[in-house]
Amino acid sequence: MHGSREGNARLFHALVEAVSDSLSNVDVAICVPFPFVAQAQGELQETSILWGVQDVSPNAQGAFTGEVGAAMVAEFGCRYAIVGHSERRIYHGEDSAVIAMKARRAIESGLIPILCVGETLAERESGLTERVVGAQIENIFGQLSIAEARQLAVAYEPLWAIGSGITAPPTEAQRVHAHIRNVLRGRDPGLAALPLLYGGSVKASNAAELLSQRDIDGALVGGASLNTDEFSSICRTAQEMATKLSVREPSTHVRSS
């Protein structure tokens, strides 16, 4: 819940200036709060930077006062919708049934859901990371058809790393990403190709090491996206690494919330 018309305009302009012309192998999107979707469309539509939202309703339309539907934001050119962010799970009690419905609604409207999963510090310290994250993936993907599932991107965001300044050690993040890929492959071989983003205190200084891990295809950036220098630098790093990796992977993804 960051942003204002004026502040957004500054961030959009500076980001477009800094990176828009150089993004050939990387998808960069800004996921904004709902009131700013039209502004994002207005300011980014002629650039190579995409935009999306941080949530959508699990309902398609109807008497759901205060909800915002995927079809509504699709009218404003959104390409992505974050679903199941840990802050939605914690503060709004969202469970896997609701999150799966949000993903379905997003897909129906042509948006790519970015599904967030991740373990708490206590779960990590009890050695439960893979089990918890694997169960989150199974619970949500188990409610989607294979055709739906193939439309998702997944963001691994350890809860203890979000907004804390503490990043998961890259080799640990890699281990969890490899596990997620295996769980997805086990459901359907085609799902092994889904983009897997890492999120949790990604910044300019750690982006290269994280993005160089084999199963980390991109980043979901929170705090660092509010600083144009930081975020531009992450985008440039992703672009450089995607260029190096372009034989193996078609694209690297960086999304900001």
**Could you tell me if 86 and 51 are in contact, meaning their C-beta atoms sit under 8 angstroms apart?**
no
- Position among 73, 153, 162, 191 found at the interface with ligand PGA (CB under 6 A): 162
Residue 181: CB minimum distance to ligand PGA, A: 20
231 vs 16, 144, 191, CA distance in Å? 11, 33, 29
User: Active site residue: 85, 177, 179, 253, which one?
Assistant: 85
DSSP 164-203: TSPPPPHHHHHHHHHHHHHHHHHH-GGGGGS-EEEESS--
User: Active site residue: 43, 94, 157, 230, which one?
Assistant: 157
Helices (H), 20-85: 37-44, 70-74
How far apart, in whole angstroms, are the C-alpha atoms of residue 2 and residue 22?
A: 27
Does position 121 interact with ligand PGA (CB under 6 A)? The reply is no
157 is catalytic: yes
**DSSP code at position 168:** P
Q: Which is nearer to ligand PGA, 201 or 213 (CB)?
A: 201
Which residue is it, tokens 């071989």?
Answer: 189
Residue 156: CB minimum distance to ligand PGA, A: 11
Does position 174 interact with ligand PGA (CB under 6 A)? The reply is no
Q: Which is nearer to ligand PGA, 191 or 221 (CB)?
A: 221
Does position 202 interact with ligand PGA (CB under 6 A)? The reply is yes
Q: Which is nearer to ligand PGA, 60 or 237 (CB)?
A: 237
Could you tell me whether strands 153-156 and 196-199 are parallel, antiparallel, or unpaired per DSSP bridges? Answer: parallel
- Position among 191, 199, 231, 233 found at the interface with ligand PGA (CB under 6 A): 199
How far apart, in whole angstroms, are the C-alpha atoms of residue 184 and residue 192?
A: 6
- Position among 96, 129, 136, 201 found at the interface with ligand PGA (CB under 6 A): 201
Which residue is it, tokens 């891990």?
Answer: 213
Residue 158: CB minimum distance to ligand PGA, A: 10
Does position 234 interact with ligand PGA (CB under 6 A)? The reply is no
**Could you tell me if 256 and 221 are in contact, meaning their C-beta atoms sit under 8 angstroms apart?**
yes
How far apart, in whole angstroms, are the C-alpha atoms of residue 232 and residue 230?
A: 6
Residue closest to 142 by CA, chosen among 176, 120, 115, 123 = 115
User: CA Rg, the chain, in Å?
Assistant: 17
Residue 116: CB minimum distance to ligand PGA, A: 7
Residue 154: CB minimum distance to ligand PGA, A: 13
Does position 157 interact with ligand PGA (CB under 6 A)? The reply is yes
Candidate ranges 1-9, 32-40, 217-225, 243-251; the one touching ligand PGA (CB under 6 A): 217-225
Binding site for ligand PGA (CB under 6 A): 157, 162-163, 199-202, 220-224, 257
Residues with a known catalytic role: 85, 157
